[in-house]
Amino acid sequence: MQDDDKQISIRVGFGDHVKELQVVLPNGDIPPYQPGDKFELVGQSRSRVDAIAKVTGRAKYTYDQSPPRMLHARILRCPHPNANVLSVDLEKARSMPGVKAVLSFADAFRQNSVRFAWDGVAAVAAETELQAEEAVRAIEVQYEPLAFCVTREDAMAEFAPQVGRRNQKNTGRIYPRTPRRRGGGVDEEKLAEMLQRMEDDEKLVAELLGESDKVIEGEFDTQVQTHSPLETHGVVCDWDGDHLIAHVSTQGTFGAQWEATHPRGAVRAESAQILCEYIGGGFGAKTSLGREGVAGALLAKSAGRPVKLMLDRREEHTSTGNRPDSQQQLKMGVNKDGTIVAFKARSWGTAGNGLGGAGAHNDNIYDLGAIDKVEYGVRTNCGGARALRAPGWPQGAFALEAMMDKAAAAIGMDPIEFRKKNDSHAIRPHQYDRAAEMIDWKTKRSAKASSDPKKRGVGIASSMWFASGGGGARVLVRIHRNGTVQVRNGAQDIGTGTRTIMGMVAAEELGLDLAQVQTFIGNTDDPRGPTSGGSTTAPTITPAARLAAHRAKEELLDLVAEKHDWDRSDLDLASGNVVRKDGQPLATKVSFKDACELISDDTIETVANRPVFGRRRPNYEGFSDTNAGVQCAEVEVDTETGEVKVLKVVAVQDAGKVINPLLAESQVSGGIVQGVSYALFERRIMDRQEGRMVNADFEGYKILGSVDCPEIEVELFDVYNGKNNTSVMGLGEPPVVATAAAVANAVSHAIGERIESLPITPAKVLSALERKERRG
């Protein structure tokens, strides 16, 4: 506890569920928003501050930048899924018309092998795109093609070709993770303990399964999903001496700056300004500068001119990350009273030629009793995984929620009652009934099967997430003498509305309307902000914005109190005026603008860090560490064609304190759309003979379009979580967790047969119906 840390009592919760907590305010923080607080702006639906730029086409994305004398760059991609690169001859390309710079990945990244088709090999910058493309074709590469495998099954087969290098096996355990010593090497002692624990868990769960009334089993498969942001990865780079100025389509401006300036990195700029005011989607794929970013910077340096390097759609699909597939073998022991006593999970997933990120989160959300869980990663010669909106969760939820339905059916319990019975979350148990009401669960669940070939069904699934934010953000608030206000943070808004709500919490603090503050983002010359990952941006930036605005307000009110000889502690700002906290009128009316005229040295400028306790536990205890959600889906399945249509999805979603319901609902609704898309359509298809992705475009890789979009109803659960001073919880990822699971459960309700594999294609529906018929 530091000197300025102060212990106070706060109220946290929602509706009738409010409790008091004793918390210590660190770093001069202000108390969190609490139930009963009066707001003028927070909690209102307001359109995005950048909406007009976006609807008029004036918003300039990285892809839209074209500084004078700009060159265009392209990357040479390897056609082989596994090969050693013996030589790269750039000479012919260098002498092609218009070519100004060339580089090989062997030089830039010391990469002498390719491990998936469409991995990069070299890059060229030329006057026109066409010239760059032609020059790329002129690069001569000698490959030594190696045997490969591109599916999980092939990689796990006996005598499968080795995907990795050195002693890397194709399959490796990723959970529980092998303990390592500091500085590398396996910690043998801890490893022995861990192996013992695994053995004990396995034994215990086997015993409990043996004793439970029913044992439910399931084997689930999910597909590889690509992020498919509409703006591909890319950069527009320029140099001023050793200073790099780069527009990057990125979810992490400061991460990109770190990479570009790191002394052991490939770019090694002395300093760098990263710009990204607008980004055309990322969904987790754009958290690093990427090889395309490095290549763009190096080509620009070598050519002495600005270079634009944007990937094309095929490159985007193949080489910029994906959600790994999974095979999950699950067992659940359940007693007749509805209690889950034990859960066993084994899973395999491929995250490309690495192992990280291939797990499936199938053992969370509910109270599952004793758990025995092991996850394996499987190396394949495919593009590597990157976090994709709730990495690991939608695939895990799909399997877990199917098991929940199967278990409920086995003991003759309603699926919702069964879930409630095994759910000890602080918030979620209060959401089930509302979600059920919104979809008309009772009527639809008990409807008799009709003779119509189109069958309807409803399903339910839950979600959780952890995002109350952390450190790493600083916001600058500047009040100018003429009354204009700037709120600045250098991180990015990836379409979530962070920029808007950053402005809203600052405006609220200053008693202004949103239109009276200007917001600035996406420029590393402004104060530091987080990478947008894990739904942490809003709960990380907004508390810093609120605190910075609060401090600016205090400075301004000091001037007002001094001038009028008023008691400073009576004063506040509201509705564009200086007001008394007790609501009594002031002797003289002083507007915000009047107050600003008292500023003698042009501006009040305050910077606030996001208050934190420490790295391990950055936030207050709060009402709940996790935010909760429940979704229900209604589907119609055509039993003649196998086509599934999702008619409606309803979501009850807790996002902590909702700053802007309009934008929050958009987040939830968008997550649902992606979830339906994942459930029914999306699937990377690899050609096992050639080792390439065959559907690396938007015809073969189908993302949900308008015609397939269900009706979506969102109800936000406003929870004063008290985890940080705005009580905000992140909302990017939670809504996508439950959707595919709810859709799959609805399909099995509709047709009376379960499909344990995503995506749910017409072919799978028809074969499920056939299976059901054969069984009689």
Partner 1 sequence: MKPDVPDGQASCGRSREPLSAVSRRGFLKGAGATVAGVGLLGPTAIAQEKPEAGGVPTLAAEPMQLKLRVNGVEREVRAMPSSTLLDTIRGELDLTGAKRICDRGSCGGCTMSVGGRVVNSCSFLAVDAIGQDVVTIEGLANGDKLTDVQQAFVDYDALQCGFCTPGMIVACTALLEQNPAPTRAEVAEGIAGNLCRCGTYPNVFRAVEAVVRKRKGG
Residues at the interface with partner 1 (CB under 8 A): 47-48, 50-61, 63-64, 66, 130, 228-232, 278-281, 283, 312-313, 494-497, 662-663, 665-667, 669-674, 677, 697-699, 703-707, 709, 711-712
Q: Residue 285 CB, nearest distance to partner 1 (Å)?
A: 11
* CB of 163 vs partner 1, minimal distance in Å: 30
Nearer to partner 1, 56 or 584 (CB): 56
- Minimum Å gap between C-beta 183 and partner 1 is 42
Output the DSSP codes for 282-335: -TTTTSS-HHHHHHHHHHHHHHTS-EEEE--HHHHHHHS-EE--EEEEEEEEE-
> Nearer Cβ to partner 1, position 66 or 168?
66
In whole angstroms, how close is the CB of 279 to partner 1 at the nearest point? 6
Question: Residue 154 or residue 713: which is nearer to partner 1 going by CB?
Answer: 713
Residue with Cβ nearer partner 1 (66 or 575): 66
What is d(CA 683, CA 703) in angstroms, rounded to the nearest whole number?
A: 9
Cis amide prior to 68 (ω within 30 degrees): no
Alpha carbon distances (Å) from 109 to 113, 298, 616: 11, 11, 34
Shortest Å, Cβ 669 to partner 1: 6
| Comparison of 45 and 588: residue with beta carbon closer to partner 1 | 45
Round to whole Å and give the CA distance between 91 and 122.
Answer: 12
Nearer to partner 1, 194 or 703 (CB): 703
Nearest to 747 by CA among 657, 670, 676, 673: 676
**Burial of 448 per CB tally in 10 Å (0-12, 13-18, 19+):** exposed
Query: Looking at beta carbons only, is 707 or 763 nearer to partner 1?
Result: 707
CB of 229 to partner 1, least distance (A): 6
**CB of 484 or CB of 669, closer to partner 1:** 669
CB of residue 358 vs partner 1: minimum separation in angstroms? 24
Shorter beta-carbon distance to partner 1: residue 375 or 713: 713
180: number of Cβ within 10 Å: 12
Residue 355 tokens read as 């192992």
Beta carbon of residue 168, minimum distance to partner 1 (angstroms, whole number): 34
Which structure tokens are listed for 382?
């495919």
* One-character DSSP codes across 341-378: EEEEEEEEE-BTTB-TT-----S-SS--SEEEEEEEEE
Retrieve residue 81's tokens: 């899924």
Residue 622: both structure tokens together: 């709060």
- Nearest Cα to Cα of residue 575 among 69, 40, 147, 2: 40
Closest CA to 715 of 633, 650, 627: 650
Give the span between the Cα atoms of 607 and 474, in whole angstroms.
Answer: 7
E strands, 427-570, in order: 454-465, 474-480, 485-488, 517-520
Tokens matching residue 122: 């070299």
- The helix/strand/coil state of 409 is helix
Q: Which is nearer to partner 1, 702 or 764 (CB)?
A: 702
How near is the Cβ of 34 to partner 1 at its closest, in Å? 28
Least distance between partner 1 and beta carbon 643 (Å): 16
| Nearer to partner 1 among residue 164 and residue 281 (C-beta) | 281
Phi-psi region of 322 (alpha: psi -120 to 50; beta: other; left: phi over 0): beta
**Minimal distance in Å, beta carbon 278 to partner 1?**
6
Q: Please, what is the minimum distance in Å from the beta carbon of residue 56 to partner 1?
A: 5
Give me the residues paired with residue 328 across strands: 220, 347
Nearest approach in angstroms of CB 419 to partner 1 is 26
Residue type, 49: V
Nearest Cα neighbor of 645 from 772, 535, 747 is 747
Give the separation between CA 579 and CA 591, rounded to whole angstroms: 9
3-state secondary structure of 194: helix
Q: How many other CB atoms sit within 10 Å of the CB of residue 240? A: 9
Q: By the 8 A CB rule, do 360 and 328 touch?
A: yes
Least Å from the CB of residue 744 to partner 1? 19
Q: What is the DSSP letter of 706?
A: G
> Cβ 60 to partner 1, closest distance in Å?
7
SS3 of residue 107 by DSSP: helix
**In whole angstroms, how close is the CB of 647 to partner 1 at the nearest point?**
13
- Please identify, using beta-carbon distances, which residue of 156 and 712 lies nearer to partner 1: 712
Q: Where does 489-557 show beta strands of DSSP type E? A: 517-520
Q: What's the token pair of residue 273? A: 């300004």
Please give the Cα distance from 487 to 303 (Å, whole number).
37
Residue closer to partner 1 by CB (options 535, 606) is: 535
Neighbours of 218 (CB within 10 A): 19
**Amino acid in the structure at residue 279:** I
Of 209 and 659, CB closest to partner 1: 659
Q: Which CB sits closer to partner 1, 704 or 765?
A: 704
Q: Which is nearer to partner 1, 321 or 333 (CB)?
A: 321
Q: Considering the complex, what minimum distance in angstroms separates the CB of residue 681 from partner 1?
A: 12
Is the Cβ of residue 283 or residue 366 nearer to partner 1 in the bound state? 283
Sort 718 into a burial class: Cβ within 10 Å, 0-12 / 13-18 / 19+.
middle
Nearer to partner 1, 54 or 177 (CB): 54
Q: Which residue type is seen at 297?
A: A
Rounded to an integer, what distance in angstroms lies between the CA atom of residue 738 and that of residue 630? 7
Rounded least distance, CB 427 to partner 1, Å: 24
Distances from the Cα of 168 to the Cαs of 161, 171, 180, 337, 356, in angstroms?
A: 11, 9, 17, 47, 13
Residue 187 gets the label, from left (phi > 0), alpha (psi -120 to 50) or beta, of: beta
Q: Please choose, from the candidates 156, 397, 320, the residue with its C-alpha nearest in 3D space to the C-alpha of residue 684.
A: 320
Residue 608 and residue 551 in contact, taking contact as beta carbons nearer than 8 Å: yes
